[in-house]
């Protein structure tokens, strides 16, 4: 219970800083060595927020899972 409370508190505090939180399954593009990053929670700098959805999105997960 403490872990869940701490995680929720951390998400709220992160939203108040120079970063923002994106929730949901998202992946990076497949690299040349056939690796990629996948996560359900992403912490993003607010300055690069516009570029985030172009580079890291749900469509990449579908493409990567087909190539793994």
CA distance 60 to 68: 12
Q: What per-residue confidence (pLDDT) applies to 16? A: 65
Q: Are 36 and 29 in contact (CB under 8 A)?
A: yes
Residues 6+ apart with CB under 8 A from 47: 18
Tokens of 37: 């990053």
Q: What per-residue confidence (pLDDT) applies to 15? A: 62
The total of other beta-carbon atoms located within 10 Å of residue 40's CB is 9
Tokens of 38: 């996948």
Q: What is the pTM of this model?
A: 0.65
Which structural domain range is residue 7 located in?
2-67
Residue 19 has pLDDT above 80, yes or no: no
Residue 18 has pLDDT above 80, yes or no: no
List, for residues 28-66, the tens digit of each pLDDT value.
998 999 899 999 988 888 888 888 888 999 999 988 887
Q: How many domains does the chain have?
A: 1
């Amino acid at each position: 219970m403490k872990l869940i409370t701490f995680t929720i508190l951390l998400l709220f505090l992160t939203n108040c800083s120079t970063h923002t939180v994106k929730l949901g399954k998202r992946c990076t593009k497949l690299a040349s060595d056939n690796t990629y990053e996948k996560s359900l929670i992403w912490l993003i700098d607010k300055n690069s927020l516009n570029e985030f959805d172009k580079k890291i999105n749900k469509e990449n997960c579908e493409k990567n899972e087909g190539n793994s």
